[in-house]
A and B are shown apart, each in its own frame.
Chain A
Amino acid sequence: MNYGRTSSSDLQSKSSNPSEINLAVTALSLQHISKRFGSLIANDDISLTLGRGEVLALLGENGAGKSTLMNILFGHYVADSGSISVFGETLVPGKPQLALARGIGMVHQHFTLADNLSVLDNVMLGAQSLLSLRSQRTAAREQLNDLSQRFGLTVSPDAVVRNLSVGEKQRVEILKALYRGAKILILDEPTSVLTPQEVEQLFGTLRHMVAEGLSVIFISHKLDEVLAISTQIAVLRQGRLVHECAAREATKESLALAMVGRDVKRVQRAETDHTAPKSVALSVRSLALAHESSRVALSNVTFDVAAGEIVAIAGVSGNGQRLLADGLSGLHRVATGQILLNGRAQTMGARAAIDAGVARIPEDRQHVGAVGDLSVWENAMLPRTHEARFSKLSWLNRGGARRYTDALVKQFDVRLSSIEQPIRMLSGGNMQKLILGRELDGAPSVVIAAQPTWGLDVGAVSFVHEQLLNARARGAAIVLISEDLDEVFALADRIAVMCNGRLTTARDATEWSLQSLGLAMAGHSDSQPSKLEAQHAT
C-alpha cells in the first residue's frame, strides 16, 4: 500500500503535460445531499460540482452547514439522501479510507498532527508503517522533498512538529494530504491562524496546485480572501445552497448579503474627538511579564487608554498578545512595572479585575470564556455570583439568575433554544454575544477585548463591533487586541503594534498606513520615524 508513489507519478505525468489539463473535467460532484440531526436540517438538498483545476470557495455563517457537508464528503457522516461522485465514479458513503484512496484530502482548522514526531513521520503516519525499512523512509523523504519543492511548501522533514510555527504546521498538513495522493484538497478556514505573508504564501501554493490540475475546496469567512483565490463561490445559509457564482462576478457586498440574507450594517464610528479632555482610565507602565504558557515574554510595555477611547494592539498572533490580555485581566503576577486602573494599582487575580470593573473578552471563548458543560444561565452569572442579586450568603438566587440571563439573551440577540442548555451547544457567535453581554453589563470602565471576532461570521462580527463602539460612546476605555487589520482600522482611535513581546508607541490610527503597520508587525522598530517614513514613501 504505497499511496505516495502512485500519487507522485500521477502528478508528474500531469505536470509534464500541462496541455492535457482539461478544465471541463468534473472532479467532484455532490448530488442532492441532505442530512438531518434530529429536528435540525444541517444540509438541505445541496448539489455542487467542482471542476479539475478549480478552487471552490464555500462561504457561510457559523452553523450554515459547511462542516457537515465536508464531513459527509470525507466520510465522517453518512448523508440521509443524495450521492457523491469523484471523477465520475460514485463514492461509497461513510468510509474515510475510501475517500482518501479516491484522492480527497482534508486539512482541518485544528491540526491533526502528532506533536512529538518529526515532519516525515507525520506525513508517513497512516500511509505507511513507521517501522518501515530505511529504504522506504529514504524514498518517502525524497518524495516529500519533491512535493514541498514543487508546491512551495518549505519545511524540514526532520523538524519535530512541536517546534514548528502554525503556518509550518499547516504546510505539513497539506503535504500529508498531497503525499497520500490528494487530487481534491479541502481546506477548512485555513487562513484564520496565518499572518498576511503566510496567507500570500498559502495562496501561492494553492495556485501551483490548481495549475497542476488539482482541485481545491476553500472554506472561509473572509470575503477578501475568497475573492482573491477562488474561481467558483458557493454560499450556504441555514443548510441550503443559496448562492452560486463565478468569483469574477462576485463582489464583497453581494457575498455578504447572500451569507446573512440581509444587508450587513457597516459600523459607523464616531470620529476621534481630540478636543475632549482625556482622563486616563487604564495606564500600563513599563510592564514586564513572563509565563510558562507563552514563548515570548513582555518587556517594557507602556501605553495609556483614555475613557471613551479604543486603543488597538495589532500584531501577528503569538507575539505576546495573549500574555498581555491575561496580564490585564489579572491572571498573572506582574514582574515589574505597573497596571493602573483609574489611578489605582491593579492587584493580582481575576476576582480583583472583575471587581475593579474590567470587562474581559478572552481570545478563547470556548475554553476560557465559558464553562462548556454548565448551563447558559450559570455561565451568565459566573463572574458575579457573589453579588447580592445572584446569591445570599452562599445560597444561589437561581430565579434571579435566570431572569437576568433572559434579559441578556434578549438584549444581545443570543439565539438559543433554552437558557438551560449547556453553553457548549451554542454556536461561536452566540456564545460570544453572551460573553459580551455578560462582560459589558454594569458599564465597565475598562474593556479588554482579545481577538473578539475571531472565527465569527459577518453578522456576528458587526454586532460585536457595534457593541464595542457603544461601550466607547458610554466612556469605556477599550483595549482591542486583534490580528484583523480591517477590524483595527474600523474601530481604533489609536494603534500600537506588538512584536516579540515589545509594544510600539500608540499613535493615532490616521498616522498608520497598512504598509507601516506591516513593517512594525515584522519587528522594524518605530524608534526611527524618519527611516520608517522613508520606507513608507517607497
Chain B
Amino acid sequence: MRRTLFALLGTAALLLGLAGPSLAFEPVNVVHTEKVQAGPYNLTVGFSTWPVKAMQSLDFTFVPEDGIADKKGTLTMVWGGELMDDSPLARHPRKREVWGLDIYALPAPGEWTLRFDLDGPAGPATGELKNLKVMEQPGPPMGLSWAISTIPLFGLIAFIVVAWRRTRHADR
C-alpha cells in the first residue's frame, strides 16, 4: 500500500515537473493586416491566418498607430446585420502591448463588420472594418462531426436498453 502511494506521488511529481518547462505558448504571428480609420485614430487590424474561415480560430490584433496606453474602446461584431458580440477592447494575452482576441473563431461564413468605438486624447471616434469575408468552415459537415462525437452517448443508451431488458422481470 505504501509503495503504491509512493509510486503515485512520484508520478504526480513527474507530471508537475514536466508541466512547467513544456509550457511554451505560441507567439502571435500576424500574416495579414487591414487598416481602419476611426476619426483621428489610425488602427491596424492583424490576422494570424488569412483568409478567415468560419469556426477556424485565429489571433486578432488591434493596434492604434501610437499605441494603446492612453486609449480605451469597444469592439462590436456584426454578421449580416445581426449583433454577434460587443465587448471592451482588451490586451491580447500573448501580446500585451496591443489589443486583441486570442484563438478566437468567427462562427459563421459571410460578410462580417468589425466596429471600433475608440476614446483617447483626441476624443471619441468610430471606425469600421466592413465586408470582412469569412469563408465556409473547413473539415466535414457539422452533422457528421456531431454524429462521430456522440457515439459514446448512443453506446451508453444501447447499454442501458440491454440492462433494462435484462432486469425488467426481476423488479416485480
The reply to whether chain A is a binding partner of chain B is no
Q: Which residues of B contact A (CB under 8 A)?
A: none
